[in-house]
Amino acid sequence: MTRPKFLSRYIRPFYMDLMKMNFVEKSEDHTNVMALQLKELGNELSDAQLSDILNDTWRLSKVGAWMIGIGNRTNLKNDLEKYLLITPSDYSEHILINLYFLDKQRAGLTILEFIERQTKYFNSKEEHIELV
């Protein structure tokens, strides 16, 4: 499958709803249909393909993480955790949420470790974020 066809089938229908979790503003029916489609399409992809899109551009990464989480692809949990090791991680809610879907108990610790790493990173910078 060519990249344009791949993007058209697996990515474009979803990434805008997944950005900043825009789907929470949609109807429950819309969200349920989207989740079902993500699961079904994700099941068409191999673990290697899902891992590749998870580590691609932000659009692909968003969709890949949700396909992994909603599809209960527990064997790709480590791929989600590795993604969180990127510092700084400008966007990662898609990883955190889907990691929680896969392993609620372990995800709590992983999320806390992620927050600590991010905090240390930002505190080490000369320019600090000031809260107003």
Q: Which residues, including other chains, have CB under 8 Å from residue 72's CB and lie 6 or more apart?
A: 101, 102
Q: Which backbone phi and psi does 56 adopt, to 5 degrees? A: -95, -150
Check: CB of residue 68 under 8 Å from CB of residue 76: yes
Cα–Cα distance measured from residue 66 to residue 80, given in angstroms and rounded to the nearest whole number: 10
Check the CA dihedral 67-72-36-98 and report its sign: negative
Per-residue pLDDT of the chain (132 residues; tens, 9 = 90+): 899 999 999 999 999 999 888 898 999 999 999 999 999 999 999 999 999 999 998 899 999 999 999 999 999 999 998 888 875 666 788 888 888 888 888 888 888 888 888 788 777 876 655 665
3-state SS assignment for residue 19: helix
| φ and ψ of 46, to 5 deg | -75, 165
Bond into 4 cis (ω within 30): no
Segment (H or E) for 83: helix 77-83
On the CB side of 84, CA atoms within 13 Å amount to 24
Domains of the chain, residue spans = 3-121
